[in-house]
């Protein structure tokens, strides 16, 4: 089954404790992206990657890092999480016909 998986689905952590949210797709897509979704602000792009070792900033990259060492994986790293990064995070991959496939989301709470 074609899918995008994210782990963990739910995470509660404390300010400053480094964390990684994993994202994996099994569709051999070159393009992947991370979004955060906040009430009243909609989905905003954090980072995107056009292929292995090729990444670029989206609209809200501050406080986040990404890496793309393999085509299927695109982890999101929060080196020093802060309460304003409490949000719902989505990973997505895009097919050659430009259809976006989204993961189920990761709900992060930073206290």
Partner 1 sequence: KQEVTQIPAALSVPEGENLVLNCSFTDSAIYNLQWFRQDPGKGLTSLLLIQSSQREQTSGRLNASLDKSSGRSTLYIAASQPGDSATYLCAVDPWTYKYIFGTGTRLKVLA
Binding site for partner 1 (CB under 8 A): 4, 31, 33, 35, 40-45, 48, 50, 56, 58-59, 90, 92, 97-105
Cis peptide before 8 (omega within 30 of 0): yes
In the complex, what is the shortest distance from the CB of residue 7 to partner 1, in angstroms, rounded to a whole number? Answer: 14
Strand partners, 12: 109
Judged by DSSP in three states, 84 sits in: helix
For partner 1, the closer CB: 76 or 92: 92
Indicate if the alpha-carbon torsion angle 38, 43, 46, 52 is positive or negative: positive
Using the minimum distance from each CB to partner 1, give the nearer residue, 9 or 17. 9
In the bound state with partner 1, the residue whose beta carbon lies nearer, of 46 and 110, is: 46
């Amino acid at each position: 089954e074609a899918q995008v998986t994210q782990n963990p689905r739910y995470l509660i952590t404390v300010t400053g404790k480094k964390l990684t949210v994993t994202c994996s797709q099994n569709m051999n897509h070159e393009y992947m992206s991370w979004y955060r979704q906040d009430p009243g602000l909609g989905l905003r792009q954090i980072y995107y990657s056009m292929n292995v070792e090729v990444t670029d900033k989206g609209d809200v990259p501050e406080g986040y890092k990404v890496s793309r060492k393999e085509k299927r994986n695109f982890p999101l790293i929060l080196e020093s999480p802060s309460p304003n990064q409490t949000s719902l995070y989505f990973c997505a991959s895009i097919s050659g016909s430009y259809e976006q496939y989204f993961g189920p989301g990761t709900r992060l709470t930073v206290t």
